[in-house]
Amino acid sequence: MPEPACGHLDATGTEAGLLAGLGLSFPGIHTDGAAMARLARGIKESNGAVLCTLPFCCTVEAEALGASIRLGDAAIGPRAGTFVCSSLREVLRLPPMETAAGRLGQVLRACSLLATAGEPVALEISGPMTILNWLMDLAVVLREWRRDAALMGEVLARLHDELAGYALAAADAGVLVLGYADPTGTLSILGPQRFGFVADRFVLPLLGRLQADVGGKAAVHVCPKLAHALVSEDRASWQDLPLARPMAYGQGCLAAGKNGLPLGEACLKNTGYFLKNGVIKQLVPA
């Protein structure tokens, strides 16, 4: 099955009119939890979505580890500034991620504000290749990985622990759907061998840990680009879960949530995806 196309990255670049209507502006929507919450609710209502989805970029995890990020504006979202690492060993020496500080802390504050107000919240967590892409030159990552796979394994293990802690903090903040995506770590970018390495060393162990750590609190959702690739590369398979009735995909994720197995047949931001047969697919790791 071909890798699904993605049309949902940096979606807030198209929300200038909505920002003005809500009295919000850049860079506040990326730095202030209350502003994030207002925009997330505004996007949900404007798009007829089921979930309030945060954050509005895929840079917060890397910034929490020390990456230099330019926050951008309505035309272009946050992007890397000067790289802060020149080698994978330098990544291992970075200070630990603090979930209560910086933009990461503000994202969790926004999640908590929305959850307290009764809004269903989805949080998308960025994976290791995307994080590394903001910290250092990706060409260097790939070169060092080729020369020393064990070192890359150490980096993945370190990031695994960081993201697992972030996910648990998000569940404690009231997030009902924990999404995992890695725009730089797709099969089409990495190729089968490297994708399989990350799947075996990072993605599948992380999904298992999230099931153990946040089961009963939140559903776990995998970006469909990754989910379908895991299936095509024999790292997982699909299993049907009957729902009470046909419903929108976001509603299906909430209905299936806390059931245990990850979801991921469609994008959380695809508000037009409807489960017309009243069945949602779960991702079963191989």
Per-residue pLDDT at 233: 98
Is residue 231 assigned to a domain?
yes
Is residue 3 assigned to a domain?
no
Residue 221 has pLDDT above 50, yes or no: yes
Per-residue pLDDT at 258: 73
Split into its structural domains, the chain has a count of 1
CB 50 within 8 A of CB 254: yes
The pLDDT tens digits for 24-52 are: 988 889 999 999 999 999 999 999 999 99
Average pLDDT over residues 172-186: 97
Residue 158 has pLDDT above 50, yes or no: yes
Average pLDDT over residues 111-139: 98
Q: What is the residue-averaged pLDDT of the chain?
A: 93
Reading phi first (left if > 0) and then psi (alpha if -120 to 50, else beta), residue 170 is in alpha
The pLDDT tens digits for 65-85 are: 999 999 987 778 899 999 999
Peptide bond into 192 cis (omega under 30): no
Whole-structure pTM value? 0.95
> 210: part of which helix (H) or strand (E)?
helix 204-214
Is residue 236 assigned to a domain?
yes
CATH number at residue 171: 3.20.20.210
239 pLDDT band, cuts 50/70/90, is very high
Per-residue pLDDT at 20: 86
> 188: part of which helix (H) or strand (E)?
helix 187-198
Residue 274 has pLDDT above 60, yes or no: yes
Q: Which two tokens mark 130?
A: 């995307």
Is residue 223 assigned to a domain?
yes
Q: What is the distance in angstroms between the CA of the first residue and the CA of the last residue of the chain?
A: 18
CB 99 within 8 A of CB 166: yes
Is residue 136 assigned to a domain?
yes
CB 225 within 8 A of CB 268: no
Average pLDDT over residues 185-203: 98
Query: In which domain, by residue range, is 121 found?
Result: 11-285
Is residue 5 assigned to a domain?
no
Is residue 123 assigned to a domain?
yes
Is residue 84 assigned to a domain?
yes
